[in-house]
Amino acid sequence: MSHGERLKFLVADDHDLVREAIGSFIESEGGVDVVLAADLNDTLALIKESGPFDLVLLDYNMPGMHGLEGLKNALAANQQKPVAILSGSATKAIAEEAIEKGAAGFVPKTLGSKSMVMAAKFMASGEVFAPFNFMQNQSDPEAGYAYLTRREHQVLKGIAAGKSNKEIARDFDLQEVTVKLHVKTLSRKLDARNRTHAAMIGRDRELI
């Protein structure tokens, strides 16, 4: 995407206030045009008419969704471009299932406005977003490890191969600062003291 081009997001929620609040959070950051929809039928019609969108945010509980069936339909309509689930009440299990079924992420409505905007841009760039604190509220300590994103897996492999952040950045065409961020989040997820420790844990758990 060229630098002058604006991103196009669709926010679908059956609560007018929520929909408008999220839309205005995202638009206020600049560089993004937001289209709003009130249910899944509206969403699919808008995607057909003016899509695909760089990101579609779908409320899990709005009319027409039928659980994650709506996600599948929206992904197909949006030509496999990022579609994420937005929810005020969904459980961790639903978040996991959504991501397994191809969602670009899971965004709790309780997320602060700055984090919400960051998450949206992160997902539009092709990353998977799952708020770590939300995913960690669980009884099974092992379950958190499924939450290394595709990119974090790649970075972990690079660390295990003894590469520097600069080399990993070059391998995956990333900024060095992005790699640093991934090292930080994956170390936190694995409860690792440093990158060497993260590589050891990754090997132990057969993540790499």
Q: What is the CATH number for 187?
A: 1.10.10.10
Tokens of 173: 């065409």
**Residue 12 falls inside a structural domain:** yes
Q: What backbone phi and psi angles, to 5 degrees, belong to 40?
A: -70, -40
Q: In one letter, which amino acid is 5?
A: E
Q: Name the pLDDT band for 136 (thresholds 50, 70, 90).
A: low
| Residue-number span of the structural domain to which 159 is assigned | 148-204
The answer on pLDDT for 139 being more than 50 is: no
Q: What mean pLDDT comes out for the span 185-199?
A: 86
Regarding whether 32 and 116 lie in a shared domain, the answer is yes
Secondary structure letter of residue 31 according to DSSP: S
Q: What is the CATH number for 107?
A: 3.40.50.2300
Q: What is the pLDDT of residue 170?
A: 94
**Residue 143 falls inside a structural domain:** no
Q: What is the pLDDT of residue 140?
A: 44
Report how many domains make up the chain: 2
Q: What is the pLDDT of residue 3?
A: 47
Regarding whether 39 and 106 lie in a shared domain, the answer is yes
Tens-place pLDDT, residues 51-110: 799 999 999 989 999 989 999 999 999 998 999 999 887 778 888 889 889 999 998 887
Residue 128 CB-density burial (10 A; 0-12 exposed, 13-18 middle, 19+ buried):
buried
- d(CA 10, CA 43) in angstroms, rounded, equals 8
Last residue of a domain, one of 136, 167, 186: 136
Regarding whether 48 and 27 lie in a shared domain, the answer is yes
**Residue 141 falls inside a structural domain:** no
Residue 189 CB-density burial (10 A; 0-12 exposed, 13-18 middle, 19+ buried):
buried
Q: In one letter, which amino acid is 191?
A: D
Q: What mean pLDDT comes out for the span 115-136?
A: 80
Cβ(165)–Cβ(177) below 8 Å: no
Say if residue 82 is preceded by a cis peptide, omega within 30 of 0.
Answer: no
The answer on pLDDT for 31 being more than 90 is: no
Model pTM? 0.66
- d(CA 172, CA 148) in angstroms, rounded, equals 16
